[in-house]
């Protein structure tokens, strides 16, 4: 593998009584240290399941996982759970949408961060681990960190809890930080502060960061690359600037149009994408987005219903990939 994180043809399928749920179906991407990847999609697009597979959290479940996930020199999909457990919380750490569900209500925040440290540094004294917790609470911008370390999660505001969660995630200097909807539960001002904090910490620690979100606005400021998922597959992938300014997939364009602050038309009403995400058991034929696609008529011969578009490089920037018959035609004509 060339990149620090190298995901190749990842598939996560869950057998159910109704059929196989293909939550992730052939996803590939790479990420270097010090860079941020935004994985974007509606709920049910496969973005969260992708991140769980990066943490090896599918192990011990009925999920059928194939493909390769290279992290540094280790391939995670085939790694035994015992070795994965050693990576989790140390080389790879995760910040969740709802810190209350990840923090234990009966232990102080400081004790939980200290414990997360001692799990991977058993030789460290409790006292030193507590100090480390306070240092980190300070680093993530929690005022009076020594006092707050002795507080319980419910005594923290939503934003402060998310900061504490980030402190806990960073306690073992992870090389890869995964943040799944890290700001969804927070109000807009606090959201911006948390995103700034993640960006700052990344500069300082040099880790690779994956931000998972349904909101392109969240990754617009922070991501170097953006991967847009639909129905468990990649529909658009490339440098963030390219994807945002020059989106090639109608689904991405739809996500952008539903966010007036990104298009600059703050006064315009929101235009949510019509329809609902597809069933992951039976994806629509051809292009999985075709039942909702506002421009499918531009493609002749009902091709959108019959033929699945391949992910192809866009002619103007070959690092920018999209899976739409319209993109394919443009790149063939101009290439």
Give the residue carrying structure tokens 């306070």: 134
Contact status, residue 219 vs residue 226, Cβ threshold 8 Å: yes
The partner in contact with residue 48, picked from ligand SF4, Mg ion, none with C-beta cut-offs of 5 to 8 angstroms by kind, is Mg ion
Report DSSP letters for 72-92, one per residue: TTEESTTS-HHHHHHHBTTTE
The partner in contact with residue 296, picked from Mg ion, ligand SF4, none with C-beta cut-offs of 5 to 8 angstroms by kind, is ligand SF4
The partner in contact with residue 96, picked from Mg ion, ligand SF4, none with C-beta cut-offs of 5 to 8 angstroms by kind, is none
Closer residue to Mg ion (CB): 45 or 202: 45
Closer residue to ligand SF4 (CB): 137 or 257: 257
- Alpha helix segments (H runs only) across the chain: 47-54, 81-87, 99-102, 109-120, 126-139, 145-149, 158-170, 188-205, 216-220, 240-245, 250-257, 260-263, 303-306, 325-334
Q: Which residues bind ligand SF4 (CB under 6 A)?
A: 249-250, 287, 289-290, 293, 295-296, 299, 304, 309, 324-326
Closest approach of Mg ion to the CB of residue 154, in Å: 24
| One residue of 36, 45, 48, 108 binding Mg ion per CB under 5 A | 48
Show the tokens assigned to 108.
Answer: 């102080």
- Site for Mg ion contains 213 (CB under 5 A): no
Give the residue carrying structure tokens 């609470």: 137
Closer residue to ligand SF4 (CB): 110 or 278: 278
Contact status, residue 242 vs residue 319, Cβ threshold 8 Å: yes
Closer residue to ligand SF4 (CB): 145 or 250: 250
- Site for Mg ion contains 202 (CB under 5 A): no
The partner in contact with residue 78, picked from ligand SF4, Mg ion, none with C-beta cut-offs of 5 to 8 angstroms by kind, is none
Stretch that binds Mg ion, among 32-40, 41-49, 65-73, 150-158 (CB under 5 A): 41-49
Closest approach of ligand SF4 to the CB of residue 277, in Å: 14
Stretch that binds Mg ion, among 46-54, 117-125, 221-229, 276-284 (CB under 5 A): 46-54
Greatest alpha-carbon pair distance for the chain in Å reads 71
Size of the site for Mg ion (CB under 5 A): 1
Please state, in angstroms and rounded to a whole number, the distance separating the CA atoms of residues 326 and 330. Answer: 6
Residue 60: Cβ within 10 Å count:
8
Closer residue to ligand SF4 (CB): 42 or 75: 42
The closest of 199, 112, 101, 97 to 150, measured between CA atoms, is 112
- Report the side by side order of strands in the sheet with 36-40: 92-95, 176-180, 208-213, 36-40, 225-230, 233-239, 317-322, 312-314
Closest approach of Mg ion to the CB of residue 235, in Å: 17
Please state, in angstroms and rounded to a whole number, the distance separating the CA atoms of residues 49 and 211. Answer: 13
The partner in contact with residue 304, picked from ligand SF4, Mg ion, none with C-beta cut-offs of 5 to 8 angstroms by kind, is ligand SF4
Closer residue to ligand SF4 (CB): 132 or 290: 290
């Amino acid at each position: 593998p060339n990149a620090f994180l190298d995901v190749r043809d990842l598939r996560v399928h869950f057998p159910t009584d109704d059929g196989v749920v293909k939550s992730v179906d052939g996803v590939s991407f790479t990420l270097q240290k010090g860079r941020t990847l935004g994985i974007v999609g509606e709920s049910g697009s496969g973005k969260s399941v992708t991140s769980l597979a990066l943490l090896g959290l599918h192990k011990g479940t009925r999920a059928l996982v194939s493909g390769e996930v290279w992290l540094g020199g280790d391939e995670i999909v085939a790694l035994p759970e015992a070795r994965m457990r050693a990576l989790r919380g140390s080389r790879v750490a995760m910040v969740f949408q709802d810190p209350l569900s990840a923090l234990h209500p009966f232990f102080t925040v400081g004790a939980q961060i200290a414990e997360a440290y001692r799990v991977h540094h058993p030789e460290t004294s409790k006292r030193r681990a507590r100090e480390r917790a306070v240092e980190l609470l300070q680093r993530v911008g929690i005022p009076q960190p020594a006092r707050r370390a002795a507080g319980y999660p419910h005594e923290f505001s939503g934003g402060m809890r998310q900061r504490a969660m980030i402190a806990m995630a960073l306690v073992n200097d992870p090389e890869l930080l995964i943040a799944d909807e890290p700001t969804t539960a927070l109000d807009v001002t606090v959201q911006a502060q948390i995103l700034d904090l993640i960006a700052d910490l990344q500069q300082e620690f040099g880790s690779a960061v994956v931000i998972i979100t349904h909101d392109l606005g969240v990754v617009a400021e922070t991501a170097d690359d953006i991967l847009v998922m639909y129905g468990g597959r990649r529909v658009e992938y490339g440098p963030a600037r390219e994807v945002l300014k020059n989106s090639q997939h109608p689904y991405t364009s739809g996500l952008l149009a539903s966010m007036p602050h990104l298009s600059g038309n703050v006064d315009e009403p929101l235009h949510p994408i019509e329809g609902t995400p597809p069933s992951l058991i039976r994806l629509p034929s051809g292009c999985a987005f075709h039942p909702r696609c506002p421009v499918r008529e531009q493609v002749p011969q009902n091709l959108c219903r019959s033929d699945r578009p391949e992910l192809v490089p866009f002619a103007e920037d070959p690092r920018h990939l999209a899976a739409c018959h319209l993109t394919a035609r443009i790149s063939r004509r101009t290439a």
